[in-house]
């Protein structure tokens, strides 16, 4: 590690702490030569995960691209940015843990839809309409019907009545 002030490579670590999620380590360092203090962050470098598209093309997985697509589906919905960030972090971590080199775009889309379904049904339908390439109104109606919960109309007798 080089000191950002004098570029000397000799330093000492004053303090080390892991992040809340345990993915990074924060280190406070002090340059031995000029006594300047600075902070560094360490994180595990994973192998690049490639996404196999529907047409067979491959491109590097992009957390930002995933977040942008989810933001579009959640536009003008009461969903916080923190919720979206957490969702993308969860999906990216799952994919990194389960797939070494390649993952299909279908798997990523299915993960997003599972998450959106539990958070906001409107955002789920918006995402599904693009992801599943709805071409007719009937496709859209079928997706909405799958979301409807069947209400239980049976009356249950209470004990003692």
Instruction: Give yes or no for residue 127 having a pLDDT over 70.
Output: yes
Instruction: State whether 39 and 69 are in the same domain.
Output: no
Give the pLDDT confidence of 132-153 residue by residue, as tens digits.
Answer: 766 666 766 776 677 665 545 5
pLDDT at 14: 96
- The arithmetic mean of pLDDT across residues 98-121, rounded, is 93
Domain that includes residue 129, residue range: 50-147
- What confidence score (pLDDT) does residue 40 get? 94
Mean per-residue pLDDT, 47-74: 94
Is there a single domain that holds both residue 106 and residue 140?
Answer: yes
Question: What are the φ and ψ backbone dihedral angles of 61, each rounded to 5 degrees?
Answer: -60, 135
- Residues 61 and 28 occupy one common structural domain: no
Instruction: Note whether 152 and 138 are within 8 A (CB).
Output: no
Is residue 129, in this structure, part of any structural domain at all? yes
Residues 140 and 65 in one domain: yes
Domain match, 97 and 130 both: yes
Which pLDDT score, from 0 to 100, does residue 130 have? Answer: 79
Report if residue 154 sits inside a domain. no
Bigger pLDDT: 35 vs 128: 35
pLDDT of amino acid 28: 96
Q: Are residues 103 and 63 in the same domain?
A: yes
| 29 plus 107 within the same structural domain | no
d(CA 15, CA 91): 32
Query: Within a domain: residue 158?
Result: no
Asked if residue 35 and residue 59 are part of one domain, the reply reads no
Q: How many domains does the chain have?
A: 2
Residues 88 and 27 reside in one and the same domain: no
The pLDDT score that the predictor gives to residue 26 is 94
**Average pLDDT of the residues in 59-85:** 95
**pLDDT at residue number 68:** 96
Domain-located, residue 4: no
When pLDDT is averaged across residues 52-69 and rounded to a whole number, the result is 95
- Give a yes or no: residue 139 inside a domain: yes
Q: Can you tell me the distance from the alpha carbon of 22 to that of 145, in angstroms, rounded to the nearest whole number?
A: 41
pLDDT of 157 strictly over 60: no
Shared domain check, 140 and 70: yes
d(CA 130, CA 123) in angstroms, rounded, equals 11
Give the pairing of strands 58-60 and 102-104: unpaired
- 105 domain-assigned: yes
In a domain, 87, yes or no: yes
Q: Do 66 and 135 sit in the same domain of this protein?
A: yes
- For the residues 3-25, what does the mean pLDDT come to? 91
> What is the per-residue pLDDT for 128?
82
- Cα gap 86→94, rounded to integer Å: 12
Q: What are the CB-based long-range contacts (under 8 Å, 24+) for 84-88?
A: 87/112, 87/115, 87/116, 87/119, 88/63
Asked if the structure places residue 62 within a domain, the reply is: yes
Closest CA to 74 of 120, 28, 141: 120
More confident residue, 89 or 47: 89
Residues 142 and 71 in one domain: yes
């Amino acid at each position: 590690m080089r000191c950002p002030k004098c570029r000397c490579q000799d330093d000492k670590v004053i303090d080390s702490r892991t992040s809340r999620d345990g993915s990074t380590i924060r280190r406070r360092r002090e340059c031995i030569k000029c006594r300047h203090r600075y902070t560094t962050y360490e994180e595990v470098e994973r192998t690049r995960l490639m996404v196999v598209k529907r047409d067979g093309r491959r491109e590097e997985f992009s957390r930002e691209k995933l977040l942008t697509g989810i933001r579009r589906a959640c536009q003008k919905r009461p969903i916080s940015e923190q919720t979206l960030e957490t969702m993308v972090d969860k999906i990216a971590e799952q994919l990194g843990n389960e797939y070494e080199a390649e993952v299909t775009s279908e798997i990523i889309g299915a993960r997003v839809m599972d998450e959106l379904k539990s958070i906001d049904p409107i955002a789920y339908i918006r995402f599904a309409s693009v992801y599943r390439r709805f071409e007719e109104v009937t496709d859209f109606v079928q997706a909405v019907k799958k979301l409807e919960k069947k209400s239980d109309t049976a009356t249950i007798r209470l004990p003692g009545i």
